[in-house]
Amino acid sequence: MTAYLGETVIELLERAGEHLLGETAPHTYTAFLHQIGGANTLRRYEASATYWERVQVMLDTFFTSAERAEICARLLDHDELRYRPEFEGFLAHALAERRLQELMAAATCTGPVSVPGRRPR
């Protein structure tokens, strides 16, 4: 029943790797493909936090923070993943990665930045 989830994750990672690494870092892209497909550890979805820790390792190893945020946004779009209990730890990392990018973008803006929970002076 969960076999399609592994294929969904792999397909998303492969597309992201091709888009973000394929032309600019072909050797890195090849290494990435070997890592995500070599032992089939990500292709065979297992309903555990360990599976998502492996996904996180792949993201941390091969992509920048901004790229990870982009990939995480795509993973979060999949309700069949987002609401699974084993996804909770990864979800926390994904939301933090996206929030970090939002804060970094806000910090590069000119003028005052609104911080939630604090009143401007």
DSSP string computed for 45-78? --SSHHHHHHHHHHHHHH--HHHHHHHHHHHHT-
* Residue 81: predicted pLDDT: 86
Cα–Cα distance for residue pair 96/92, rounded to 1 Å: 6
Position 14 in a domain = yes
- Determine the structural domain holding residue 40 and report its residue range: 3-105
Cα–Cα distance for residue pair 43/65, rounded to 1 Å: 24
Position 121 in a domain = no
* Residue 101: predicted pLDDT: 87
* Residue 114: predicted pLDDT: 60
Position 64 in a domain = yes
* Model confidence at 95: pLDDT above 80: yes
* Model confidence at 118: pLDDT above 60: no
Position 35 in a domain = yes
Position 113 in a domain = no
Mean of pLDDT values over 12-18: 93
How many folded domains does the chain comprise?
1
pLDDT digits (tens, 9 = 90+) for 51-90: 999 999 999 999 999 999 999 999 988 888 888 999 999 9
Q: Tabulate helix, strand, coil % of the chain (nearest 5).
A: 70, 0, 30
Position 46 in a domain = yes
Position 110 in a domain = no
The Cβ of residue 7 has, within 10 Å, a number of other Cβ atoms equal to 13
* Residue 41: predicted pLDDT: 76
Position 115 in a domain = no
Scanning the structure block, which residue is given the tokens 């309903």? 47
Cα–Cα distance for residue pair 54/36, rounded to 1 Å: 9
